[in-house]
Structure 1
Amino acid sequence: GNYGYNAASGEYGDMIEMGILDPTKVTRTALQNAGSVAGLMLTTEAMIAEIPKEEAPAMPDMGGMGGMM
């Protein structure tokens, strides 16, 4: 039930006795935040991943005409 890990002290024990009154809320919030970050990463990757279009080479310049400026 109340047994868990105290990250502040690095010890395992009864969460209530260690003064951690609501470990479930912390776990739920951490999971929600992790899901939110994962969703942003997936969306961001899809938005910036784009296949570049190949463009035809430009037309060559016309050579100069003799006798003209």
Structure 2
Amino acid sequence: MAAKMIAFDEDARRGLERGMNQLADAVKVTLGPKGRNVVLEKKWGAPTIT
């Protein structure tokens, strides 16, 4: 099992910002009148198309 990494101050903020930007980039294509559909994969069962 890998050790946990604990970050403080600027390093922690930069890491959070990278994660939030990655999520925002994935979500923004689905918004608005020209929003595209996405497929959400599940571990079991059919994928969900939104």
Determine if the TM-score, normalized by the shorter chain, exceeds 0.5.
Answer: no
TM-score class normalised by the smaller sequence: 0.3 to 0.5
- Which structure exhibits the higher relative contact order, with contacts defined as CA atoms closer than 8 Å and separated by 6 or more residues? 2
> TM-score, normalization: structure 1?
0.34
> TM-score, normalization: structure 2?
0.44
Greater C-alpha radius of gyration: 1
